[in-house]
Structure 1
Amino acid sequence: MASPWASPEELRAHLRLTAIDEEQAAEKIAAAETVIRAELGQSIDAVAGAAVDLVGNGRRVINLPERPVTGVASVTIDGHAPLISTEYRWNRYGILTRLGGCWPLDAVVTVLCDHGYAAVPAPVKQVCLQVAGRAWVRPSTGLAAESLGDRSVTYDKERTGEALSDYELRILAPYGRGPESR
Structure 2
Amino acid sequence: MATDVLADPEELAASLGVQPTDPKLVWALTAASRRFRGAVRHPVSLVAGDSFVLDGNGRTSILLPAAPVLAVTSVTLDGTALAEGTDFDWSTDGFLRCLCGVWPDRLRCLRGFYDHGYAVVPEDIQEVVIDQARAMYRIDPGVQTKTVGGQSVTFGVQAAIGVTAQWTAAVERYQLNRGDRP
1:46 is aligned to 46
- The answer for unaligned runs of 5 or more in structure 2 is 146-154
Cα RMSD over matched residues? 2.3
2:7/2:121 contact within 8 Å kept: no
1:144/1:100 CA distance change after superposition, 3 Å: farther
1:36 is displaced (CA, Å) by 0.3
Alpha-carbon separation, structure 1, partners of 2:99 and 2:60: 7
CA distance in 2, matches of 1:84, 1:132: 44
Deviation at 1:181, TM superposition (A): 7.1
Q: Residue type matched to 1:105 in 2? A: D
Matches of 1:131 and 1:24, distance apart in 2: 13
Gaps of 5+ in 1: 146-153
C-alpha distance in structure 2 between counterparts of 1:82 and 1:6, whole Å: 39
Query: Identity of counterpart residues, as a percentage?
Result: 29
Distance 2:97 2:167 in 1: 32
SS of equivalent to 1:114: strand
Q: After TM superposition, give the deviation of residue 172 of structure 1 in Å.
A: 2.8
CA contact (8 A) 1:44 1:120 kept: yes
- CA displacement 1:130-171 (0-9 Å, x = unmatched): 00000111124x5289xxxxxxxx954232x2x433431112
Which residue is 1:81 aligned to?
A: 80
Residues in 2 aligned to 1:168 and 1:5: alpha-carbon distance in whole angstroms: 13
Q: Does residue 35 of structure 1 match 2:23?
A: no
> What is the alpha-carbon distance in structure 2 between the residues aligned to residue 165 and residue 58 of structure 1?
39
TM-score of the aligned structures, taking structure 2 as reference length? 0.82
Q: 1:117 to 1:181 in 2, by over 3 A?
A: farther
Please tell me whether the aligned partners of residues 131 and 164 of structure 1 are also in contact (alpha carbons under 8 angstroms): yes
Paired residues of 1:54 and 1:109 also in contact (CA < 8 A): yes
Deviations 1:108-129 (A, max 9, x none): 2112100000011101010110
Query: Deviation string for 1:2-61 (max 9, x for gaps)?
Result: 54323432112233x2x3462221111000001000000010010111111110000000
Aligned-partner Cα distance in 1 for 2:6–2:178: 25
Q: Take 2:122 and 2:11, find their aligned partners in 1: how far apart are those partners?
A: 15
Contact 2:8–2:126 (Cα < 8 Å) also in 1? no
